Structure 1
């Protein structure tokens, strides 16, 4: 199953299998965020389009160097929000709910201000001689302001979401995230929630939509108008509503099932290819690990070296008792007191490493790309979420039965040791991981083929307006049928009022008739007396 379409990811001519023809297009791709995992997961789409003969103009940070030479590349320096420059990234672990949403949206406003002021971005705004046919960009609140380029070049938009079906991402195309069974990704709820969880989930999603639409978007509109200097620039809400296609990093093997509109396409794991050969020294190290390998990585954004010292010591204590080889992605040169079975590295080819037969366990922060790679390779996971949607991802893995979640703030040697031995010694975790892996690979075509096909579909059909949902033309109260509910409620209330009035009138008539004979009898008695 794997080999049947995995080879299509590495053989350029495989894309020719698509029967439909589309003329060569000039594609503007905007990926201004210094988030390597985001870029790495979405790059395969551009590679597939390039292999199909399309011309790629890419705006990206100076950090990314592995870019095909034939692409026209616009470089910008990496821009980070003040919060992350001043604070340790571990601050995210204490943020939940309203505070987390407020922080993210404030960061998004700051990032848009900084990004649009970059010299290379300003030059792109003022360019006149170059024409494009399509805008491809990541939908992530920190760069929503780049939708202004869709108006400038008058092109349809193919949007990519590296965090799956995030609710304000799919809101852009009119897709409803029903809070009764679709949990907020900043929570750790599953798709089966209690009454109180559904209530909290509804409140959280309602607040998120409110603050996004009435706090975030108006401020971004000001930033866009100030920088583009175009009096005809539509509001961002209108630009979002013109999105032709939404490609989301999700898949039913890892994500909870949910209904999607025709222009929302799931391509989870688009970056996962057939395993490449490991570096020789790493391969030798893992081949010789007869008792198995445990891989420990907190991703590209969170640094293990930023862990509290007591947490680091906890891991060292537990690892020293294991017979397995532990590969630890560690950003410094060494750790005081490192056990002999622990091997440090500032970088590992994670997806390829997880495919090695001796890997028994992946200790991870629960980032989406890492979680998808573990799912694809069939490796059980111990999730230690730090922030953002990581807890949501880790809980899903635990809910599907191939992982355990630990709380970073309450790590003890006992809890870590229990979790490791539980996963290693209970075959259920490995069996469930293999099941999810089979589900991951069981698709009619590769995720890249799916993404390229639908992107070219948008080009062939001039933005594919026939896929656009009419929900985007409704106001929020019409969308939620509140006006219909109000009319039905008013009608029911009117019927109730009429019924009450009728009953009261009938009661008075009946009372009047029954009391009349008694009144006449009383009067006669009075006269006799």
Structure 2
């Protein structure tokens, strides 16, 4: 009988323990969620940068839908669906060809005309939002789909916030470029002492004019965007998503649960960001599954044993469309370099009069090439993902920035001394040849690149693991609005303490004025005594006698 009681007690204890553990599972796990990645107006590089996170979430049994205009990733991944609205695909292909494939020519033309290269992002943000929502397959898709979370590529995809509103799901931002626009300082409540790092991207000791610009630039860009861009997106979203009411986007974007920041403190010169900014830069670098094709591997084995140079101007720019004068300067410079060159050309047709030491390819697995131990120099366009990969692998670079984002990446390169910046519109064949030779001969570039690589890799955990944990954190709590600082909800003048300083100055001035008035009032009774008639007559006689003597 005693044995039966002990057996029953043990069974009861095990049952209670299992029941308690089962009840706690929902608190500790968020597997099986449905997550939408909204990358409607994004480059292919942005998609590649976040794709390791998509794969990791799918491994953890989450169902992923990735909305973008780009070709699907091959091979397909279980539990990952790529949704490509036909209207968006058509629109993106048209503008990709006219605005980006020949970006080098546009850059040179603008510079010769004394103008800066026009930034098409705002106009394309509005247009891409409209063509996405108007696509025939979009409405039945969004009406028949439920998601637990929306991940939005920021900036240029603000309409994703309206999608999350329609789906009644929390949203987070992913900053694929790794840089922040000035207006984002206002949106995310970044304090004024951090603004130089947001505007310029680098730490320095600014003078009074620079500090003034740093403080006014975010305010100007914030309100220009609030009154010019966002109302257009609100109108499109309300109409095509059939939302009866919609809050202003300026307020809606403050509801972001967190920001997955595609950056890292080691290469951002001490940039200070709010606590709900989670640095996850380099996810693709640490998890790339790219391998060299047989022809590339053969080329590097046979001709790259003593080192080689790699040229790639990004996934959207086709170098073969560059002006002949630029191509000629590159060819002449490379002929003077006694080293094989691997070049992502963008076309299967090989150029005429090309140097014999150059191997051209229409596509190159960049991460695999940058990780090759014999790579000596990387020449590129200043793309954020390319900068990350070069830093991760410790490769010196020569950067030809083509966009505003490229200029920011060039500042990082120059600040850390890991490469040289050249202007694609003004460089000479001699400058390119000299720059390559300087990096090959001066070992300091590689030493600094290797040191920066060590700092970049030294983390407590893999950035994918960090990103997954925070995404599941948001899922577990149905949002994480409480992570944002109170400065997010302050006005621009309050965040800069102008009201506090104004009150202090005003009270000080008033105190001084009151003090002076009190002093005058108190000394009023101590004025000179009034003369009597006799004293006045005596003084008058004295002065009259004095006049006679004179």
TM interval, short-chain normalised: 0.7 to 0.9
Contact 1:161–1:169, Cα closer than 8 Å, also in 2? no
C-alpha separation in 2, matches of 1:415 and 1:201: 33
C-alpha distance in 2 between matches for 1:519 and 1:361: 104
Q: Is the 8 A contact 2:40 2:128 kept in 1?
A: no
Q: Of residues 373, 377, 396 in structure 2, which corresponds to 1:380?
A: 396
* Corresponding residue number in structure 2 for 1:220: 233
1:448 deviation in Å? 0.3
Q: Which residue pairs with 2:474 in the alignment?
A: 458
Distance 1:92 1:518 in 2: 92
Gap change, CA 1:414 and 1:306, over 3 Å in 2: same
Between the aligned partners of 2:442 and 2:30, the Cα distance in structure 1 is: 52
| TM-score scaled by length of structure 1 | 0.87
Give runs of aligned pairs for residues 514-529 of structure 1, distance below 5 A. Answer: 524-526=538-540
Distance 1:247 1:271 in 2: 14
- Hey, what's the Cα distance between the residues in 1 that align with 2:306 and 2:61? 48
Residue aligning to 2:292: 278
Q: Which residue of 1 aligns with 2:83?
A: 74
CA displacement at 1:370 relative to structure 2: 0.1
1:310 paired residue number: 325
Q: Deviations over 1:140-190 (max 9, x none)?
A: 22x211211211121111221101241444644433464653142xx6x63
CA-CA distance at 1:449 after TM superposition: 0.3
Secondary structure of residue in 1 paired with 2:169: coil
| Residue matched to 1:237 | 250
Distance (Å, rounded) in 1 between the aligned partners of 2:160 and 2:195: 33
The answer to whether the Cα contact below 8 Å between 2:189 and 2:495 also exists between their aligned partners in 1 is no
User: How far apart, CA to CA, are the structure 2 residues paired with 1:170 and 1:82?
Assistant: 33
Alpha-carbon offset, residue 469 of structure 1: 2.4
- 1:397-419 deviation line (CA, Å, top 9, x unaligned): 11101111111121101211111
Q: From the superposition, tell whether residues 521 and 438 of structure 1 become closer, same or farther in structure 2 (CA, over 3 Å).
A: farther
Alignment of 1:298-447 (within 5 A): 298-332=313-347, 333-447=349-463
Bigger shift: residues 73-82 or 160-169: 73-82
Distance across 1 between alignment mates of 2:231 and 2:122: 12
Question: For residue 162 of structure 2, what is the aligned residue in structure 1?
Answer: 148
CA displacement, residues 242-290 of structure 1 (integer Å, 9 cap, x when unaligned) = 1111101101232222222222100111111356442222122112323
Contact 1:172 1:243 in 2 (8 A): no
Contact 2:370 2:395 in 1 (8 A): yes
Structure 2: distance between partners of 1:425 and 1:81:
43
- Residue 42 of structure 1 corresponds to 50
Q: TM-score normalized by structure 2?
A: 0.84
Match of residue 501 from structure 1: 517
1:317-361 deviation per Cα after TM superposition (whole angstroms, max 9, x unaligned)? 110011111111112312221111011111111011011111000
SS in 1 for 2:152: strand
Per the TM alignment, residue 316 of structure 1 is displaced from its structure 2 partner at its CA by 0.6
Asked whether the 8 Å contact 1:385–1:408 carries over to 2, the reply is yes
Which residue in 2 is equivalent to 1:162? 176
Matched, 1:60 2:71: no
112, 115, 118: which one pairs with 2:129?
A: 112
Cα pair 1:139 1:169 within 8 Å, conserved: no
Name structure 1 gaps, 5 residues minimum. Answer: 1-18
Partner of 2:8: none
1:256 to 269, 275, 289: 269
CA distance in 2, matches of 1:149, 1:521: 96
The alignment yields a C-alpha RMSD, in angstroms, of: 2.9
In structure 2, the residue corresponding to 1:456 is in which secondary structure?
Answer: helix
2:215 equivalent to 1:207: no
Quote the offset at 1:439 in angstroms.
0.9
Please tell me whether the aligned partners of residues 41 and 125 of structure 2 are also in contact (alpha carbons under 8 angstroms). Answer: no
User: What per-residue deviation string (whole Å, max 9, x for no partner) do you get for residues 26-80 of structure 1?
Assistant: 2122222351100010122221111111122232325234342432332224233
**Partners of 2:192 and 2:495 within 8 A in 1:** no
497-506 or 40-49, larger mean C-alpha shift:
497-506
CA contact (8 A) 1:92 1:388 kept: no
Give the whole-Å Cα distance in 1 for the aligned partners of 2:533 and 2:286: 97
Q: How many residues align?
A: 503
Determine which structure has more spread, i.e. the larger CA radius of gyration: 2
Q: For residues 461-476 of structure 1, what are the structure 2 equivalents within 5 Å?
A: 461-476=477-492
- Distance in 2 between residues matched to 1:375 and 1:251, nearest whole Å: 11
Gaps of 5+ in 2: 1-26, 545-550
Distance 2:327 2:192 in 1: 39
**How far apart, in 1, do the equivalents of 2:329 and 2:389 lie?**
26
